[in-house]
Amino acid sequence: MKIAIVDDSYHIRKNLIRFITEIKGAEIVGEASDTASALKLIEDKKPDIVVLDIELENSSGFDVLTKIKSVHKTTPIVMMFTNLSSISYKEKALKEKADYFFDKTNDFEDMIITIDSLTKAKRPGHRQ
């Protein structure tokens, strides 16, 4: 399962990589901190899952989400936010077709569990 990490925080990206690489069958194919790098990464590596922050260096993760879903409609997008507990962010993420939505501060473990579940679903011989 190829996974791309898109977050403006170097430390968050490294933490995500550390946890996700412990998931059997998960492979980090790249990381990005801004829109242009994210879109290039996704086009070049064609990940199975994209972990995407709402706030990026030069734009909103919603811009990336919209562009990804317009081309790669079935790629699961795991949206993340930090201390943006407003229900409007979640509603917008779901409206823009994010598949999952987590608060990095409070839901980090749930996010890793979800990524693990998605990876398990793609493993040969795994039954859901």
In the chain, where the domains are located: 2-50+58-122
The token duo for 8 is: 């403006």
- Residues 63, 112: Cα–Cα separation, whole Å: 24
Place domain 2-50+58-122 in its CATH homologous superfamily: Response regulator (3.40.50.2300)
Predicted pLDDT of residue 112: 93
pTM for the whole thing?
A: 0.88
Percent of the chain with pLDDT over 90: 65
Summarize the confidence of residues 52-59 as an average pLDDT: 89
Mean pLDDT for the chain overall: 88
Q: Could you report the per-residue pLDDT of 74-123, keeping only the tens digit for each?
A: 999 999 887 655 677 888 888 889 999 888 888 889 999 999 999 988 75
Who has greater pLDDT, 58 or 19?
19
